[in-house]
Amino acid sequence: MLNNKWMRLSRSQFSILKSKGRRADGNRNFAGLTTCVVLCVLSGTVAEAQQPTKVRRIGFLGAAFRTSNPARHEAFRRGLNSLGWVEGKNLEIENRFADGKRERLAALALELVDRKVELIVTGGPAPTRAVKDANITIPIVMGFDNDPVGSGFVASLARPGGNITGLSTLSPEISGKQLELLKEIVAKLARVAVLGNSTEPGTAQALKELRLVAAAFRVQMQFIDLRNGKDIESAYRALSKESANAILVLGSPVASSQRRRMTELAAKSRLPAIYPWAEFVEDGGLMSYGVNINDLFRRAATYVDKILKGTKPVDLPIEQPIKFDFIVNLKVAKQIGLTFPPNVLARADRVIR
């Protein structure tokens, strides 16, 4: 460092230092010269250390409540921290949440655009749609999306082709596996009630997959539309009247924001139910199988890092999930009088006892 600082001294500065370092008899006082140089170097170092760190500003838009999925946001923050981005130091995050009300997303997206954030991270297909409609230039990083190509967000997974990139969940294919698991734990499964939001991107493909698997198992399938939280109570009354043997819940902002109420009603009905994400099981659900969403949000931080450092979204391919979780809750199983077959229990990634 000393040599580099020395080389940056101008000729005039160097001459002054030399003159200050001479004795009266004309001999150079190298000790004096060295002291002056060291002081100069230290002064420069202190000045550099005092330079303010540039704070970058990004946005986050979620469809559910702020408190609905804290583990996802914590995973995102940890991912950012591991890459050197720390809130309050060199990063500011403008968070907006629609509290399960899809109609609020458009206004919240415009609000983030008006705040002139450098990019926006979205917590699902509906927020991505809202931000896409609000702007065509600000980079968008999808925390997850059921079908980004089918939704019209990107041209292809390998070549997004615009200002949107991020993570895909492959949810439609997973719904078939969820029905298979229900069939394994409910030997006489004859009718399954599927709860989901018909307007949610990916629901149509999930239902298509489910119908194929249901037909193979000779299981009747009843779809119940959950457009908002007010539909929850009537949905469980309807499935009770239809004599459903089990419940399969598709992912949506409504289900996520109402998950505690949904798991309570399922337990009260003494019906086995499978959910898309671990949070449902942690809040009293029987079991879940699906993509590890927390891992996707952690990986979304990598996209943020690259874009803030100059990479364009068009040059960042959409990544697919690499972690899947099967979680069971034995407390709930005992409550509803269900016993998990040993071969099914052995495949669980986590067991809540």
Q: What pLDDT is attached to residue 147?
A: 84
Q: What pLDDT is attached to residue 92?
A: 98
Q: What pLDDT is attached to residue 171?
A: 66
Q: What pLDDT is attached to residue 328?
A: 97
Q: Averaged in consecutive runs of 10 residues, what is the pLDDT profile of the chain (353 residues)?
A: 40 42 45 44 47 87 90 96 97 94 94 96 94 93 91 93 92 87 94 92 88 95 90 85 90 87 93 95 96 95 98 96 95 96 96 95
Q: What pLDDT is attached to residue 8?
A: 41
CA atoms within 13 A on the CB side of 315: 6
164-166 sheet: strands from edge to edge: 91-97, 56-62, 120-122, 140-142, 164-166
Q: State the Cα–Cα distance between residues 348 and 210, nearest whole angstrom.
A: 22
Q: What pLDDT is attached to residue 317?
A: 97
Amino acid at 237: R
Q: What pLDDT is attached to residue 33?
A: 42
Q: Is 35 left (phi over 0), alpha (psi -120 to 50) or beta?
A: alpha
